[in-house]
Structure formats: C-alpha cells, structure tokens
Copies of this chain bind each other. A is one copy, B any other.
Amino acid sequence: MQGNQQQQAYDRGITIFSPDGRLYQVEYAREAVKRGTASIGVRTPEGVVLAVDKRIRSPLMERSSVEKIHKADDHIGIASAGHVADARQLIDFSRRQAQLNQLRYDEPIGVETLTKAVTDHIQQYTQVGGARPFGVALIIAGVADGEPRLYETDPSGTPYEWKALAVGADRNDIREYLEEHYDAEMTLDDGVGLALSALASVTDGGLSPEGIGVATISVEDERFEQLDERTRREHLEANDILAGEDDETDEE
C-alpha cells in the first residue's frame, strides 16, 4: 500500500518522471492497448500480412464499422489495437503524411519514413503538458521499392521493426506462438496462415470468417488488399481453425 501511495504520487501527470525514471502515464496507456482485441502482423519475402480480431458486441452491429485494419496509402496498411478513437486520429495523421509525401516528392512514402513521422507525433503527447498520450499501438505494414517492411508504434512513441508481432490482448501468448512457428522463407499465403493460426491459438473454438479481418501487401504488386470473406474462410479451412457456425455474437 505504501508502494501504491508512492506510485500515485507520480502517475497523474504526464510531464513528470517517477524517482525510478519511469513515465507512468505512458505505461498506463500501454494498458489501454491491452484492453483492445489483438492485431497481428507477419512479414514474408513475398509480402506482409495484417490479421485482426473483429469480434463484435451484438449481431446488430456492422462488423465493417469495427475499424481495425486501415489503408494508409496504396502500398501501406495499418492495424491497430487499443483506444479506437485515438487510433482514428493516428490513421488520419498517417494518411495526411502519405499524401504530403506524394505531393512534395512525387513518390510514395517509405514505410519507415511514415512510421517515424507517426512516432514523433506520438512522443509529443508524452512530453508536452495539456494532453494525454495516445492509448493505442499500431502495426504499420507495407512494401516500398520491393522491400516488405513491418513496424510497431507504441504509446511512448518508439518505433520497432519486426519480422512478426502482435499488439493488444494476449500479446505475449501470440508472440510466443509466432516465435515458435515463424519461418523466414515462407510464402505470403503461409504468412496469412501463421497470422490466423496465432490468433486462433488464443481463441476458444476457432475463428469465423466474419470475426476476423485480413489484409496483405504483396511484393509483386505493392498494393494493399483486404481479403474477402470467401478467401478468409478458405484460409481458416486450410489451417483447420474454422469455427462452428453457431458462434455469431461475440464480445469485443
């Protein structure tokens, strides 16, 4: 309880460090990320994969409005986890950055360039007063100049590059699954399979094609593409993780 009281002394202002050099508000924002459903990214030599959990609270809700995979540019997609309204702000920021780059340099923005612009933006909200950090993590995936790239942004504003990663709920369990099964030479289709299997590994009773979202950007055409329901179903069947059909309503 002593410990609690001391922690409380330092965690209510974003502009201060605790005596052990931590920024509690940033750490709490990371908790907000964990409250969101999982999003997964996988990089293969043939392209990058984004897969997300799109469970909904009611059968009356339109799944399409559960925004977890976003197109940032023709060649870049972003998956998010955490505070939805915050994610929307960062997605909008990303799109404006991509457009600006196209306008200024007449060429598509690099995946790393975009990631760093986003993390710089996030960092400002952790250092300057009068606002709170963003309670969201993004997976920024894209292909530029033939190179597939996969990045994470976290609430502190740090960019990380990954071969495969998960953000949101069950992040650690999914990462363990990914570490165990990742194969640096797999095909893009295998990448989709790995992402979905990893997601299924933390879900009871398999996945339904309606309850997930999948997008890929292949090295071949460098275009962001969302997989339609039939294709999603085929992937689930191929990987033997298709849920029974009586599981329509689910908890986000």
Q: Measuring CB to CB, which residues of chain A are less than 8 angstroms from any residue of chain B?
A: 4, 6-25, 28-35, 58-62, 64-67, 83-86, 88-89, 92, 116, 119-120, 122-123, 125-135, 151, 156-165, 175, 178-179, 182
Known A88-B120, A89-B123; contact A61-B161, beta-carbon cutoff 8 A? yes
Contact B13–A17 (Cβ < 8 Å): no
Say whether B33 contacts A28, CB under 8 Å.
no
- For A31, what are the chain B residues with a Cβ–Cβ distance below 8 Å? 17, 19-21
Report how far A29 CA is from B19 CA in the complex, Å.
8
Q: A130 and B15: CB pair below 8 A? A: yes
Indicate if the CB atoms of A10 and B12 lie closer than 8 Å.
yes
Is the CB–CB distance between B6 and A9 below 8 Å?
no
Q: Find out whether the CB atom of B13 lies under 8 angstroms from the CB atom of A18.
A: no
Contact (Cβ within 8 A) A12 B13: yes
Q: Which residues of chain B are within 8 angstroms of A130 by Cβ–Cβ distance?
A: 15, 128-130
Residues in B with CB closer than 8 Å to A119 are 85, 88
A191: min CB distance to chain B, Å: 13
Determine if A126 and B159 form an interchain contact, defined as CB atoms under 8 angstroms apart: no
A67 contacts across to B, CB distance below 8 A? 159
Is B62's CB under 8 angstroms from A163's CB?
A: yes
Min distance, Cβ A55 to any Cβ of chain B, angstroms: 13
Nearest CB on B from A8, distance (A): 5
The chain B residue with its CB closest to the CB of A31 is B21
Among B25, B89, B156, contact of A16 (Cβ-Cβ < 8 Å): B25
Is A62's CB under 8 angstroms from B14's CB? no
Q: Are A21 and B35 in contact (CB under 8 A)?
A: yes
Residue in contact with A60 in the complex, picked from B24, B66, B156, B178, CB distance below 8 Å: B178
Within 8 Å CB of A4, what residues of B?
6
Q: Are B64 and A156 touching (Cβ within 8 A)?
A: no
A139 CB to closest chain B CB, in angstroms?
13
Q: What residues on B are CB-neighbors of A120 within 8 Å?
A: 88-89, 92
| Whole-angstrom distance between the Cβ of A204 and the nearest chain B Cβ | 22
15 contacts between A and B (CB under 8 A): A6-B8, A7-B19, A15-B132, A16-B25, A17-B31, A20-B35, A21-B28, A21-B29, A21-B32, A60-B162, A60-B175, A65-B151, A85-B126, A86-B127, A128-B130
